[in-house]
Structure 1
Amino acid sequence: MKGKREIIKELRKKLREYFPQMQVFIDDNTITKDDWVFFGRIIYRLMDCFITTPEKAIRRSRAQVNKILNFYKKEVRVRKLALKSEVFLKENNIDGEALQDHLVFYQDHLDYWSMRHASTDLCFDYEIHLYLFYKWMDNYEFDDFYQRELVLSLMELCSYYGSRYFDTERLQAEKNVFMSEMKVGSELLRVLDYAIEKWSDDEEIPGSEIETLVDEADAHLN
């Protein structure tokens, strides 16, 4: 299997081949530095998903869903408790209607992830990162077919054990489901450790400030 640095080097060639206008967008700041960092985080997360063993992928996928589910349970519980206390809302100058809207948002996401958690079909860890990848690419109107070709190239470069089950048609079918059903908010970047980057030697180093990445995600997800 190729090393991570070699994978990224080869993937950059594919990016230039499939999306020649991307460099123009970077040069004229259509794609900002922070947004390019966010895209890099997505690619690194996908790469980590695709180079892992089947056993580790299953364990990590289950752990990820549990982490997300616990996050949304906490967010819903906190808001429900706050809404029960008029005194708390007044003392902290909190708009009750706005808080109710937030509760509806988090409850909607909790319901989705509870369903995924209860399903017999495992929610693989790559799915969230692939969803973010598609949202990012679509917002810049990059060619849909070549988006999927890039994903297939990344799978191949990573020697992904499941790559033989994927082609552009299956990726399109998955993308359609992701775009219509998946519930992912920018707040999940905190849960998924997007502020930490992993380089080729597997040492974790501080990445960009998480709030900056959350802002970039907001622009693509809202």
Structure 2
Amino acid sequence: MQSFIDDGTITKSDWIFFGRIIYHLMICFIVNPEKAIRRSKAQLNRVLRFYEKEVRVRKLALKSDLFLKANDIDVERLQTQLCSFQESLDYWASRHASTDLCFEYEIHLYLYYKWMDNYEFDDYYQRELLMSLMNLCGYYGTRYFSLERLGSEKKVLMSEMIMGSELLRILDYATESGSGDEMVPGSDIEILTSEADAHLN
């Protein structure tokens, strides 16, 4: 990894994005089971409300020719966005309705694997680093995991999860750690979103 940083393959912005992924994973790994469940339910509700709102707004906009013309909106682009958000809404609604809780760490784990895979880091190294992070944080669920289980769960996670970079705006990736409610400047969150787009597409 250090060689990729030294030769500029991994940019400063991309390195910051990875740091935020690790930070969020650590937050997930240090909480107790009861808090993890509460946080996971709250996160899932936030994601669902976000997509419900985005789908509703776009459907309403497409019904008004006057609104579309007055705001010079590209109808085809808006339709594409609607289809994408509807697909995401359907996925997260199914997760919400499932008896299997969607744990908070899954989203950050998905981003972690995407980032690592895009730089073609060895799969075994990815899982070993993750196990070390769990142990470092004293994660209560570490005893349920192994390198083999992480490998099998990664395949399921990467093949099923639907996530776009737009979720960064509601998953605290736009908040500077240790700064209370102070938000990252607009230009910086746009850079982070662009970095996420590069990994998620």
Please give the range of the TM-score, normalised by the shorter of the 2 chains: over 0.9
Partner of residue 87, structure 1: 66
1:14-163 alignment, distance < 5 Å = 22-163=1-142
5+ residue gaps, structure 1, are 1-21
The RMSD of aligned alpha carbons is: 1.4
- Provide the C-alpha distance between the structure 2 equivalents of 1:58 and 1:196, rounded to a whole number of angstroms: 22
- Provide the C-alpha distance between the structure 1 equivalents of 2:54 and 2:181, rounded to a whole number of angstroms: 28
Deviation sequence 1:86-119 (CA, Å, 0-9, x none): 1111111112121111100000000000000000
| SS of equivalent residue, structure 1 residue 196 | coil
- Provide the C-alpha distance between the structure 1 equivalents of 2:69 and 2:133, rounded to a whole number of angstroms: 52
| SS of equivalent residue, structure 1 residue 198 | coil
Q: Percent identity?
A: 70
- Provide the C-alpha distance between the structure 2 equivalents of 1:113 and 1:189, rounded to a whole number of angstroms: 15
Deviation sequence 1:123-173 (CA, Å, 0-9, x none): 000000000000000000000011001111100111100000001111111
Deviation sequence 1:27-67 (CA, Å, 0-9, x none): 11110000000000000000000000111000000000000
Deviation sequence 1:182-222 (CA, Å, 0-9, x none): 011000000101022435xx967655621111010000001
- Provide the C-alpha distance between the structure 2 equivalents of 1:204 and 1:47, rounded to a whole number of angstroms: 20
| SS of equivalent residue, structure 1 residue 194 | coil
Please, what TM-score do these two structures have when normalized by structure 1?
0.86
Partner of residue 195, structure 1: 174
- Measured after TM superposition, the shift of residue 71 of structure 1 is 0.2
- Provide the C-alpha distance between the structure 2 equivalents of 1:90 and 1:203, rounded to a whole number of angstroms: 41
Please, what TM-score do these two structures have when normalized by structure 2?
0.95
Q: Which amino acid aligns with 2:131?
A: L
Partner of residue 214, structure 1: 193
Contact kept in structure 2, 1:41 and 1:197, CA below 8 Å: no
- Provide the C-alpha distance between the structure 2 equivalents of 1:64 and 1:188, rounded to a whole number of angstroms: 11
Partner of residue 147, structure 2: 168
5+ residue gaps, structure 2, are none
**Bigger shift: 204-213 or 142-151?**
204-213
Q: Which amino acid aligns with 2:128?
A: E
